[in-house]
Structure 1
Amino acid sequence: MVAKAVRRLPVSERRLLQPGPVAAQRFESFEGRGRQLEFMLQPGLSINEAIARPLLAANIRTATLQIEGGAFAPLHYLMPALSTDSVHAAWYSDQYSPPDETHLERGNVTFGERDGAPFIHCHAIWNEADGTRNAGHILPYETIVSQPVRAMAWGVDNIAMISEPDAETGFTLFHPVQRSLPEMDVSGSRMIFARVAPNEDILGALEAICLKHDIKKAVVRGSIGSLIGARYEDGSIVDDVATEVFVLEGLVDSSTIATRMKIAMVDTRGAITQGLIKRGENPVCITFEICLEETV
């Protein structure tokens, strides 16, 4: 499963020229009081519907999730790919549809809305029937849950994650929108939903988001996006333009002393890597959807 190599940006540049005007605001973020919900994705439903039903029943319209275990049949997915046109900085591969049942290892999901309807964005790792381990962007309507999948969700009431056309990248992307003034209920922890724009160092952006909201420390919940390759703390390197990423764990310290984030990534060649990433050396490719929960 190798994406078509149409053009490759010199890795040394570590920056992608996007087709539209560079937005002055390099991240968007809003805060609310978070709620946590644990449930199972039920077989026979699309992954989009299996996630939307319990969240909407709990009156949660914006959330980030971790999912693990269970299976899909069929599974349909895309991998990151180099651009096949003269417009986009990166693109998607053709659709892959492995035969038989595919067992989920781990993934993250952003839950919000597109065109007024519930919509998810999911990156994950799984094991196919022939033993092949793959990763990528799961298609929300075409992929059907075949065995129950465990889900942990963190959501808010007063922020919408809306999937809309983005002028800078030419993609349709999730971004947060304030639904109303932050609610007066202080029973939940402070939670931030954010979107980071292209070419921003992801760890630096997390710290800037916390500084904006006067949060000293935060745990990264869920969260998915793309990076221009990767530079890991153990010295390993992914030299690529487009990747699909989800966060395994993360802790943000706005004093910049102890910020850490561990990711899982698949590149355009289908290689899967994971580990702690370096500060200042991991710029966003197209977008990164982030959820931060304040901690002490």
Structure 2
Amino acid sequence: MSNGAETTALTQPTFPFKAPGTAVVHAGPRHSSRIVSVPTRSSEHLVELSEGADLFAALEQCLTDFAVPGIMADFVSGQFGRIDYVHPAYGPDAEHPMSFTEAFIVDDPTQLRHASATIGFREGTPFCHIHGSWTGADGETKGGHLLPGTSAGPAGLRIRLFALSDARLISEVDPETGFSAFAPAPARTIPSALAERAVEPPQSTTSAVPTPPPPDAVVSRVRPGEILDEAVLAVCRNAGFDSAEVTASLGSTTGAVFVNGSAPWPAVEFTHLSGTVTGAQRASPQVILSGEVVDVAGEVNSGALANGANPVAVTFELFVRRIS
């Protein structure tokens, strides 16, 4: 759902239960801008983490290694060695129906199923938000919101990074929900943590500075209540993308409504979201999304998402790339 929130051991709701896909109105002041987007140039990189590597430290270091103010990540293959995590739980009352469990630890190697990450800054310091799922040696599948302490297993981890040149990702507490969330801002300056890696371009009196290529992607923060597939389409239309792919995205919805089945209200966390948009600038666009979610029991569900049925619960960190 978010990052940096307090955890709770509540296991049963103390308020009426609602159907998956029922929107939640949070107790805090509603922000007028429901989708915040920044167009950006992106570059793709593949990183390999060896056994024992600290996952959070390694991903945060990538901001410096690639000298960018934001990264979206999609895990490709490998193993976790240790996992520290929480998963969604019922909140204390009807005005605050979402929370987290106490922290859990898995201290044996597990096989990666899916994971996605947003990598940016919190209070000026590199910071990660990671959701993942895994299968243990006993064949049991679990997932959740990963915490510092998580490491790569014997087979290591292979992670695909999308380095964002023009979007700074900043995690702050959202007054509307009371949870922390990442949002993009135009990267007009290089964050101080990266300044020492900045290199002055060579001065030339004989040639003009080349024009940078146009943005090929958009990174967005989608606020509570927005329907996920409708938000994806709106982002594409506003960016002028007719065809696009969704990848390396994570967040939460109010339960999940799949084409075949559902996961319970009030919140599930997506370990990944993928899909395509075609004909976004035309009268009859097509949005096809699929994903994997972790519910309030820590169970993992996946499938094709039903359109028009999945409102954002707390936040969604959305990454869309134009398809040429």
| TM-score calculated relative to the size of structure 1 | 0.91
Residues 81-125 of structure 1, C-alpha deviation per residue, up to 9 Å, x if partnerless?
A: 111357634111111112322222221111111121211111111
Residue 252 (str. 1) matches residue 277 (str. 2): yes
Offset of 1:218 from its aligned partner? 1.2
How many matched pairs? 291
Alignment partner, residue 118 of structure 2: 110
Identify which of 149, 154, 170 aligns with 1:162.
170
Return 5+ residue gaps in structure 1 as ranges.
Answer: none
Alignment partner, residue 289 of structure 2: 261
8 Å contact 1:72–1:101 — kept in the other structure?
yes
Report the AA paired with residue 292 of structure 1.
V
Identify which of 201, 222, 227 aligns with 2:248.
222
SS at match of 2:58: helix
8 Å contact 1:228–1:282 — kept in the other structure?
yes
Residue 41 (str. 1) matches residue 49 (str. 2): yes
Residue 275 (str. 1) matches residue 282 (str. 2): no
Using the alignment, how far apart are the partners of 2:273 and 2:173 within structure 1?
A: 28
8 Å contact 1:26–1:196 — kept in the other structure?
yes
8 Å contact 1:16–1:285 — kept in the other structure?
yes
Alignment partner, residue 268 of structure 2: 243
In the TM superposition, what are the counterparts of 1:127-138 in structure 2 within 5 Å?
Answer: 127-138=135-146
Residue 201 (str. 1) matches residue 232 (str. 2): no
8 Å contact 1:62–1:161 — kept in the other structure?
yes
Offset of 1:61 from its aligned partner? 2.9
Residue 142 (str. 1) matches residue 168 (str. 2): no
Using the alignment, how far apart are the partners of 1:155 and 1:16 within structure 2?
A: 33
Alignment partner, residue 119 of structure 1: 127
Report the AA paired with residue 230 of structure 1.
A
Measured at CA, do residues 170 and 271 of structure 1 come closer, stay the same or move farther in structure 2, by a change above 3 Å?
same
Identify which of 156, 159, 184 aligns with 1:176.
184
Offset of 1:248 from its aligned partner? 4.4
Using the alignment, how far apart are the partners of 1:36 and 1:276 within structure 2?
A: 26
Using the alignment, how far apart are the partners of 1:12 and 1:114 within structure 2?
A: 32
Offset of 1:32 from its aligned partner? 1.3
In the TM superposition, what are the counterparts of 1:279-294 in structure 2 within 5 Å?
Answer: 279-294=307-322
Alignment partner, residue 99 of structure 1: 107
Measured at CA, do residues 87 and 115 of structure 1 come closer, stay the same or move farther in structure 2, by a change above 3 Å?
farther
Bigger radius of gyration among the two: 2
Identify which of 8, 12, 15 aligns with 1:5.
12
Residues 155-192 of structure 1, C-alpha deviation per residue, up to 9 Å, x if partnerless?
A: 211211100011111111101111129x9421x76110
Work out the percentage of aligned pairs sharing the same amino acid: 26
8 Å contact 2:81–2:151 — kept in the other structure?
yes
Offset of 1:56 from its aligned partner? 2.1
Residues 19-70 of structure 1, C-alpha deviation per residue, up to 9 Å, x if partnerless?
A: 2111111110001111111111233332111222244212133111111332
SS at match of 2:286: coil
SS at match of 2:60: helix
Alignment partner, residue 190 of structure 1: 216
Alignment partner, residue 16 of structure 1: 24
Using the alignment, how far apart are the partners of 1:251 and 1:107 within structure 2?
A: 19
In the TM superposition, what are the counterparts of 1:53-64 in structure 2 within 5 Å?
Answer: 53-64=61-72
Measured at CA, do residues 86 and 175 of structure 1 come closer, stay the same or move farther in structure 2, by a change above 3 Å?
same
The alignment yields a C-alpha RMSD, in angstroms, of 2.2
SS at match of 1:45: coil
Offset of 1:271 from its aligned partner? 2.4
SS at match of 2:225: coil
Report the AA paired with residue 177 of structure 2.
T
Identify which of 21, 38, 43 aligns with 1:30.
38
SS at match of 1:280: coil
Measured at CA, do residues 48 and 14 of structure 1 come closer, stay the same or move farther in structure 2, by a change above 3 Å?
same
SS at match of 1:97: strand
SS at match of 1:121: strand
